[in-house]
Amino acid sequence: MDYDPITKRPRDLRLPPMLEDYDASRRSFSWDQVERELAWLPGGGLNIAHECIDRHCQEGRGDKQAMIWVGKSGEEERYTFEQMRVETNKFANVLKSLGAKKGDRVFVFLDRLPEIYFVLLGILKAGCVAGPLFSAFGPDPVRDRLQDSGASVLVTAPELRKRIKDVLPECTDLKHTLIVNKDGRSSDPLAAGDISYEAEMAKASPDFAIEPTTRDDYSIMHYTSGTTGKPKGAVHRHNSVLHQYATGQWCLDLHEDDLYWCTADPGWVTGTSYGIIAPWSNGVTQLIYEGGFRATTWYDLIAKYKVTVWYTAPTAIRMMMKVGAEAAKKRDTSSLRFMCSVGEPLNPEGIFWGQEAFDLPFHDNWWQTETGGILVANYAGSEIKPGSMGRPIPGVEIGIIDDDCKPAPTGEEGDLAVRTGWPGMFQTYWNNEEMYQSKFKEGWYITGDRARMDEDGYVWFIGRSDDVINTAGHLVGPFEVESALLEHPAVAEAGVIGKPDPIAMEVVKAFVALVDGYEPTEKLRNELMRFARGKLAAGVAPREIDFIPSLPKTRSGKIMRRLLKARELGLDEGDTSTLEDD
Ligand code: ATP
Ligand code: MG
């Protein structure tokens, strides 16, 4: 690849076809272009696993590395696309031998092992619907999801199987439980009736004719993060690969010789859409790390494997900030050329910190479990406006609309909405078609987020509709207040809610976790109040600040403001199945 020596940017940036005249080219974009770049199945069908794996083997890239896997203790395994093809074929055969049929739900409750990728892609080859479950879940969320989806096969591991043993009998649709005993880690892996993954794979044929799925067949179902309420099972179809493939280039700037690392777990949608489908449909080599967050380990991985493109999340960035930029500067992270972030608002402080620690800014982008892929992004080649999520991708109309579905004037707040029919669009909430239908109005999908769009087409996140605060007639987004607080050196994390007030309707209340070494004193509280008043408009700065050791977050790292509020008001906490342990 040809790089600019100063900016470290490749000279042929994979930009969305739009930057010259953003508006004109965005509107005239046609997805046919992307359709032509995909391989498609013989006979015209579309299958994600074929696009991710088999096409590369057919087109002579079978020897290229697809996955470099690093285990918790630093052990390493490498797989080429050809090896992935064989493993995924074998698993598809295992499923067929167990009687799994097209459309059956097969759920996967596994750590980030190489096997999780063989299994998930094997499920898609067999035409079944894959349901990834985050491996830190306790028994209740696993039971709820297995029952709701009617999953007939579960793939898990000995320790995880033990964790959920009491609820498995309640999952009455489940016919088979397959156990992955990685490297024989467990000496007693199988309970009565369980099937050994290794034994079945050893018997399975390496040849498999991919089920002739169409673009409309269901592929993956993901439960949402549960930040605002009970998680919903968003169902996707094979067509979503168009979206993930194209945005892998436009928004992650993926190139053939990249070494890409997505820190999200396949239990969440980022970990499948951008931890499996986008990189592999583009034939890019991925680093996969089994372990969790530890800043110094992460920097060592970047240095050792020469990661070039890195996709992570604001919570991780804030945790790295807590550790300080020095730790990053001590390593050679110069291989990095593009860093991006999703999942929560990225505070401008995070962008500047990236610049300090890695010589590169983080590029924020926005999407949801329901959207299947990135819809708004800060692109490699365009200016970042810190605090903005960037601009809409081509071929998709993003609206900021009022209650009557009319476009809000430029710069004004409204509901963030998407014109229906984009390629990654979810098809239903499993078992909840009514809730699905309720999200659509006059040809728009209403995302539940509030935002505004500036004159250059950049979208600015205000907050989730549920979190927006109404104080004395002003609507205040928590993000603005949290970002202001984060600029203070003592603040590691901030979560802001509206607290009911007899006069102002609501007042702004902030919960703050401090950077190590700072004491939660009255003096600091007053200083933070003053600091926020200096940054924010009157009435927007917090009226109250409480210090807490850490903020309640989902297991995917999102601040659960609804829980801060319920606790503040002594109300029922609602569904906490995705709440992270302290
Ligand atoms: P639930 O729908 O169950 O309450 P959730 O909305 O957190 O959970 P996800 O689909 O994982 O579940 O998250 C999507 C949401 O995350 C978006 O609707 C938005 O509120 C937030 N989000 C994602 N990316 C960004 C971003 N770049 N900036 C601001 N918010 C973001
Ligand atoms: Mg949501």
**How many CA atoms are closer than 13 Å to the CA of 451, on its beta-carbon side?**
28
Q: Confidence band (pLDDT; 50, 70, 90) for 11?
A: low
Q: Is residue 299 part of a domain?
A: yes
When divided into structural domains, the chain yields a total of: 2
As a whole number, mean pLDDT of residues 389-405 equals 94
Same domain? For 551 and 440 the reply is: no
As a whole number, mean pLDDT of residues 496-506 equals 93
Q: Is 472 left (phi over 0), alpha (psi -120 to 50) or beta?
A: left
Q: Is residue 345 part of a domain?
A: yes
pLDDT of residue 26: 65
Q: CATH number of the domain at 405, please.
A: 3.40.50.12780
Please give the residue range of the domain that contains residue 242: 17-449
Same domain? For 88 and 125 the reply is: yes
In this structure, which ligand is nearest to the CA of 556?
Answer: 1
Q: Is residue 575 part of a domain?
A: no
Query: Over 50: is that where the pLDDT of 6 sits?
Result: no
In angstroms, what is the span from residue 108 Cα to ligand 2's centroid?
22
In angstroms, what is the span from residue 191 Cα to ligand 2's centroid?
37
Q: Is residue 522 part of a domain?
A: yes
Q: How far apart are CA 174 and CA 161, in angstroms?
A: 14
Q: Which of ligand 1's atoms lies nearest the C-alpha of 230?
A: 3
Same domain? For 162 and 214 the reply is: yes
Considering 394, 417, 449, which residue would you say is the last residue of a domain? 449
Handedness of CA 511, 517, 520, 525 (dihedral sign): negative
**223: closest CA among 321, 142, 138, 294?**
142
* Amino acid identity for residue 158 in this structure: P
Q: CATH number of the domain at 499, please.
A: 3.30.300.30
Query: Over 60: is that where the pLDDT of 509 sits?
Result: yes
Same domain? For 483 and 442 the reply is: no
As a whole number, mean pLDDT of residues 558-577 equals 93
Same domain? For 505 and 364 the reply is: no
Q: Confidence band (pLDDT; 50, 70, 90) for 537?
A: confident
CB 150 within 8 A of CB 235: no
In this structure, which ligand is nearest to the CA of 366?
Answer: 1
Q: Identify the residue with better confidence: 185 or 82.
A: 82
Same domain? For 233 and 300 the reply is: yes
Q: How far apart are CA 337 and CA 297, in angstroms?
A: 19
Q: Is residue 10 part of a domain?
A: no
Mutate to test the pocket of ligand 1, among 221, 273, 366 (most ligand atoms within 8 A of CB): 366
Query: Over 50: is that where the pLDDT of 5 sits?
Result: no
Considering 414, 449, 484, which residue would you say is the last residue of a domain? 449
Same domain? For 413 and 479 the reply is: no
pTM of the model: 0.93
Per DSSP, 344 falls in state S
Same domain? For 420 and 475 the reply is: no
Q: Is residue 196 part of a domain?
A: yes
Q: pLDDT exceeding 70 applies to what percent of the chain?
A: 95
Q: pLDDT exceeding 90 applies to what percent of the chain?
A: 85
Q: Is residue 179 part of a domain?
A: yes
Mutate to test the pocket of ligand 1, among 225, 365, 385, 429 (most ligand atoms within 8 A of CB): 225
Q: Is residue 303 part of a domain?
A: yes
As a whole number, mean pLDDT of residues 198-223 equals 98
Same domain? For 332 and 418 the reply is: yes
109-134 per-position pLDDT tens digit: 999 999 999 999 999 999 999 999 99
Same domain? For 438 and 496 the reply is: no
